[in-house]
Amino acid sequence: MAKLSQDDLLAQFEEMTLIELSEFVKAFEDKFDVTAAAAAPVVVAGGAAGGAAEAVEEQDEFDVILTGAGDKKIQVIKVVRELTSLGLKEAKDLVDGTPKPVLEKVAKDAAEKAAEALKGAGASVEVK
């Protein structure tokens, strides 16, 4: 088997959907017994009175998680397909396997629009 370069691997990952990439990361973690953890921000503490100053970071990436399909499952599947690049089977599997993330690490406005579209189709949604 030929060894793939880093650029080749990145090109393959670019073609994957967020859900496919998330599943890959989980499989990678299981195979190699590792965890992919985000780097923790370094907080410098200090002050004239000796109190600790914490940097409050505003969240700029949100996950849209489908928690239930509701009564109009077909409508929810259609909305999931519009929001993602999933095929019919993958979208149906996602809706059947709730709770599952529909979109991950998206901007606040995109997350709100996606949540409203899913709620409008009759689904129950959580934005984290």
Helix axis angle, 88-96 to 73-83, nearest 10°: 120
At 106-121, the pLDDT tens digits run 888 888 888 888 888 8
- AA identity, residue 71: D
- Identify the pLDDT of residue 53: 45
- CA dist 103 and 80 (Å) reads 9
Strands (E), 1-128: 62-68, 100-106, 124-127
At 29-53, the pLDDT tens digits run 888 887 766 544 555 554 444 444 4
At 60-101, the pLDDT tens digits run 788 888 888 888 888 988 888 888 888 888 888 888 887 888
Is residue 100 classed as helix, strand or coil in its secondary structure? strand
For the CA atoms of 77, 24, 7, 84, what is the dihedral angle to 10 degrees? 10
